[in-house]
Amino acid sequence: MSKTQVSHNRSLPKATTGIAGLDEVTGGGLPRGRPTLVSGRAGCGKTLFAVEFLVRGATQLGEPGVFLAFEETAEELAQNVRSLGFDLEDLVARKKLLIDYVHVERSEIEETGEYDLEGLFIRLGQAIDSIGAKRVVLDTIESLFGGFANSAVLRSELRRLFRWLKDKKVTAVITGERGDGTLTRHGLEEYVSDCVIVLDHRVTEQLSTRRLRIVKYRGTVHGTNEYPFLIDEDGISVLPITSLGLRHEASEERISTGVPRLDAMLGGAGLYRGSSVLISGTAGTGKTSLAAHFADATCRRNERCLYFAFEESESQLVRNMRSIGLDLMPWLKKGVLRLHATRPTAYGLETHLAALHKLVSEFEPRAVVVDPITNFLKSGTQAEAESMLVRLIDFLKARQTTALFASLTYGGSVQEQSEVGISSVIDTWLLLRDIELGGERNRAMYILKSRGMAHSNQIREFLLTNHGVELRDVYVGPEGVLTGSMRMAQEAREQAASLSRQEEIERRQRHLEHKRRALDAGITLQRAQFAAEEEELKLIIAQDRAAAGRLAEGRQKLARSRKADEPAGVARNGARRMAIRGGRK
């Protein structure tokens, strides 16, 4: 992971400490065969650091160790670290470890003339040789300054001691109490110049955070940042992540969010694997429900999911999710889902993140849910919190772990601005908001951004039903965006309006039909009138013609009766002419 971060220097042999994370930060461990100074104020974990260094060496790396204790007896020491799972007595019995309690009681010592600390050398030499020790701890050699008055002698002897330890080729850890403005109260850093590690236990706003920093590591490249570390039942674990840079592989694989409609909004395929998702919204907008859906979907794919709950206990979360039809219990039982519930105020931000880091390394989930991250942003300075979150996101990204963060925003603050610090490292940002309208409060959701996919720009109404989260189209119309019962009412109104419109159309159509029919009827009537008139006229014409015929005939008869000498043809033609004229009339 961070092996690429710190390049290994082959020329300088290193002794693996076995302390989780420290070897990554130091690029392989402490300088082999040389002394390392571990400095810090009271209660920062120096002694524990030293003990773990020896225990890991003895149990895991086959390097027996000598613990020269100046402050605690062997029994006290064994008792103190037993809670961390270290059984010193067993290691002592198996000759893997030797504890020598060096006690200098000033009140019973009188100094006369010259002396040296050969006695200490002899004791240490004897201890190292008796078990073939490769590691040595001097905790805290500065106590000697309280035991001897002649600090000039002491200083020259310490110089000699560290030289001697190098000659002995043992990897040594020397602890020192941090002084004001100096790394150690008595300036041990003057003598131990190869590697200096400072432990720090800071309390900011009543929350404590332990940090480790490598002040100096001669001859090697090392991380210079302050790394948070944890002391828990497994001893020390250092959070070795820094901003890992942007080297992580981008996966093409898409995974479901657990809400089909949301997947559809996200380019139709859901999230990219290994991307980081932020769900932000005010209280009660359904962030946890959405996160639970995501966890459920992950488990359905038979992938492990780690859920950090900072607001609800495990059973409360399970119960609440059951109310929307999500049963997380089977996944918990199966072991694909792990819920880690703690109060955000339980410890400092960095300690939380160190714990997160540790759990992720242990459980190796494919997806991580942090619900919510807001309290992190509130503890410590904004800048600190942001940088830590960026580290966490980078860490998860490097592991191709999809991360979903819920973030609580507060009413009044501009929603897009509240997480502006981490928005740049977020790939997909879903915004949940409530819309207050018509005396009720409804949930709405939209995608603020989603890198690398054509995502929907629509606001969707977000419904929590007894069978999970549902997304609905909101009503967008001339009356604005409507949700909830307003939406339903508006929909009903719309429906009524459209119904009446339909009726109107039908009415108009009927009217048209009616008119057409009326027109048709008119035409038929006129035609009928015309036909009647025509018939009548024809009849008249026929009568006229008949009358004319008869008239001509009468004339002929008259002429014949008068014995007229006019040719008959002329008379006939005249009669025909008249008949034609009558027909035309």
Partner 1 sequence: MKHDRSQQQALKSLAGAAAADPKLWELRLYVAGKTARSVAALENLTRLCEEHLPGKYRIEVVDLLVHPKLAKGDQIVAIPTLVRKLPPPIRKVIGDLSNTERTLVGLQLRSSKS
Binding site residues, partner 1, CB under 8 A: 100, 102-105, 107-120, 122-123, 125-126, 144, 147-149
CB nearer to partner 1: pick between 98 and 385? 98
Q: Calculate the alpha carbon distances from 477 to 242, 331, 442 in Å.
A: 49, 43, 17
Residue 187 has phi, psi (to 5 degrees) of 70, 40
What is the C-alpha separation between 174 and 35, in angstroms, rounded? 7
Strands 305-309 and 367-371: parallel
Q: Are 39 and 46 in contact (CB under 8 A)?
A: yes
CB nearer to partner 1: pick between 118 and 473? 118
164, containing H or E segment: helix 151-168
Residue 66 CB, nearest approach to partner 1 (Å):
12
Residue 127 CB, nearest approach to partner 1 (Å):
9
Residue 277 has phi, psi (to 5 degrees) of -120, 135
Residue 89 CB, nearest approach to partner 1 (Å):
18
At residue 273, the 3 state secondary structure works out as coil
CB nearer to partner 1: pick between 149 and 546? 149
Q: Are 268 and 342 in contact (CB under 8 A)?
A: no
CB nearer to partner 1: pick between 73 and 382? 73
Residue 165 CB, nearest approach to partner 1 (Å):
16
Q: Where are the alpha helices (DSSP H) in 323-479?
A: 329-334, 349-363, 374-378, 382-398, 415-418, 420-423
Q: Is residue 437 packed enough to be buried (19+ CB in 10 Å), middle (13-18) or exposed (0-12)?
A: middle
- Beta strands (DSSP E) in 257-336 are 271-272, 276-281, 305-309
Residue 107 CB, nearest approach to partner 1 (Å):
8
Residue 54 CB, nearest approach to partner 1 (Å):
19
CB nearer to partner 1: pick between 158 and 408? 158
Residue 274 CB, nearest approach to partner 1 (Å):
57
What is the C-alpha separation between 110 and 394, in angstroms, rounded? 60
Residue type, 583: G
Residue 111 CB, nearest approach to partner 1 (Å):
5
Q: For residue 278, what are the β-bridge partners? A: 405, 429
CB nearer to partner 1: pick between 73 and 573? 73
Length of the chain: 585
**For the chain, how far is it from start to end, CA to CA, in angstroms?**
118
403, containing H or E segment: strand 402-408
CB nearer to partner 1: pick between 102 and 291? 102
Residue 120 CB, nearest approach to partner 1 (Å):
5
CB nearer to partner 1: pick between 66 and 236? 66
Tokens representing residue 199 in the block: 């432990």
CB nearer to partner 1: pick between 3 and 103? 103
Q: Are 177 and 185 in contact (CB under 8 A)?
A: yes
